[in-house]
Amino acid sequence: MDRRSFVKKSATAVSALGLGMHQVNAINNIAPENSSLNFKLKYAPHLGLFTSHAGKEPSDQINFMADQGFTAFEDNRFGKRSVEVQEQIAKTLVKRNMEMGVFVAAGVNFKDRTENNFNNTITSGTKESFEKFLRDIKSCIEPAKRVNAKWVTIIPGLIYSKLHMDYQTANVVEVLKQASAILEPHGITMVLEPLNHFVNHPGAFLSRSAQAYQICKAVNSPACKILFDIYHLQIQEGNIINNIDKCWDEIAYFQIGDNPGRKEPTTGEINYKNIFKHIHSKGYDGILGMEHGKSMKEKAGEIALLNAYKVSDSF
């Protein structure tokens, strides 16, 4: 199918879905190589967002992202992928001059409510939990080097109800100091992600931006900073721009998702255009991970997603 026919048929399909003109117009930014949305910030899609246009192969998806103007990429599961896939991703990112965002280095299973799982969270302060966490930290170094990743996500774990929160905080700070000493020589920064209790992660120990800020100040290392997930923190505490300002010197990474629904910007209550403008005005040169789904399926959903970023980045 030629370009003109593709645009005409796609516009008809999108119109049939009841989309506005700005979403229909987004079709003109899809597919042709060297077409770029010229984003002001480094938004980082993840695998799976553009499979209807690009297919399932990671390299094809990353190439499609680059063709649309994205300059960064994020993959939470990167550390669990085979070395072959990791190297494939690394090679494609280098070829397309894209930066690697975060992948998850250490966390817990929030669905596992057994006592053993609670004992294995670092908030408990047990020897076993510390040893497991530090093993996870060490095991993330080679995958990070393979793809030149500068950041890895850390989830401190569950609230350990047998201890006062202050003791749990002390335990977390202690193990993060040890982990920082491991990562600092490699230039890798673990970013602590506060999670919301109300929708996704009931029982998470780290749930507030001020709490993450306090922990990072106590650890006092360039290898321990904040991952400010706007979706989670909108649900948990709101006041997003003010809290970004208060935490600014400890924030190393952002993640994106609208609320409710955890879909692309413009689908919920968060004014991402103003937030992006504020972050940009502060001179942020890091990555903003697109850790969300799509409000619609197939190509129409991918078109709507691209258009949402075009609109939100138009400050």
Residues 202-227: tens digit of each pLDDT: 999 999 999 999 999 999 999 999 99
Q: Tokens 């789904």 belong to which residue?
A: 293
On whether residue 87 sits in a domain, the answer given is yes
Decide if pLDDT at 19 tops 70: no
On whether residue 28 sits in a domain, the answer given is no
On whether residue 15 sits in a domain, the answer given is no
Give the sheet arrangement for strand 151-154, strand by strand: 42-44, 287-289, 251-255, 224-229, 189-192, 151-154, 104-106
User: What residues make up the domain containing 192?
Assistant: 37-312
Q: Supply the CATH number for residue 159's domain.
A: 3.20.20.150
What is the percent of the chain where pLDDT is above 70? Answer: 89
On whether residue 6 sits in a domain, the answer given is no
How many domains does one find in the chain? 1
On whether residue 79 sits in a domain, the answer given is yes
pLDDT at 35 (0 to 100) = 54
Task: Return the closest-CA partner of residue 252 out of 281, 290, 213.
Answer: 213
On whether residue 170 sits in a domain, the answer given is yes
Decide if pLDDT at 1 tops 70: no
On whether residue 7 sits in a domain, the answer given is no
* Residues 299, 14: Cα–Cα separation, whole Å: 9
Residue 285 in tokens:
């040169």
Spatial CB neighbours of 291, under 8 Å, sequence gap ≥ 6: 46, 74, 76, 229, 231, 255, 256, 257
pLDDT at 26 (0 to 100) = 43
**Residue 36 banded pLDDT, cuts 50, 70, 90:** low
pLDDT at 256 (0 to 100) = 98
Decide if pLDDT at 96 tops 60: yes
